């Protein structure tokens, strides 16, 4: 079976693994950026929208890092 040339590296099963997907491929084109920020508090929103590089998030368990 020939692999499709989609610019992604196939995993052992021959499918692209999530870590090889671009953000455009991970989120549907219908995903609104503001929708992704819904439910975040002010500090979380600031961390997500921060454009400083590098950025380190230091927060304890249960603080909402993965929200």
**Residue at 20 is within a domain:** no
Instruction: Please give the residue range of the domain that contains residue 60.
Output: 33-67
pLDDT computed for residue 44 by the predictor: 84
β-pair partners for 10:
16
Overall number of domains in the chain: 1
pLDDT computed for residue 18 by the predictor: 56
Mean pLDDT by groups of 10 residues along the chain of 67 residues: 52 57 59 80 87 86 77
User: Are 40 and 48 in contact, with CB atoms under 8 Å apart?
Assistant: yes
pLDDT computed for residue 67 by the predictor: 64
pLDDT computed for residue 55 by the predictor: 85
**Residue at 28 is within a domain:** no
At residue 20, what are phi and psi to the nearest 5 degrees? -95, 0
**CA dist list (Å): 29 to 4, 26, 51, 60:** 21, 9, 22, 33
At residue 50, what are phi and psi to the nearest 5 degrees? -65, 135
């Amino acid at each position: 079976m020939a692999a499709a040339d989609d610019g992604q590296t196939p995993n052992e099963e021959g499918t692209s693994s999530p870590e090889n997907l671009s953000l455009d491929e991970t989120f549907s084109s219908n995903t609104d950026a503001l929708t992704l920020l819904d439910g975040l508090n002010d500090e979380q929103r600031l961390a997500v929208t921060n454009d400083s590089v590098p950025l380190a998030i230091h927060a304890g368990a249960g603080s909402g890092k993965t929200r």
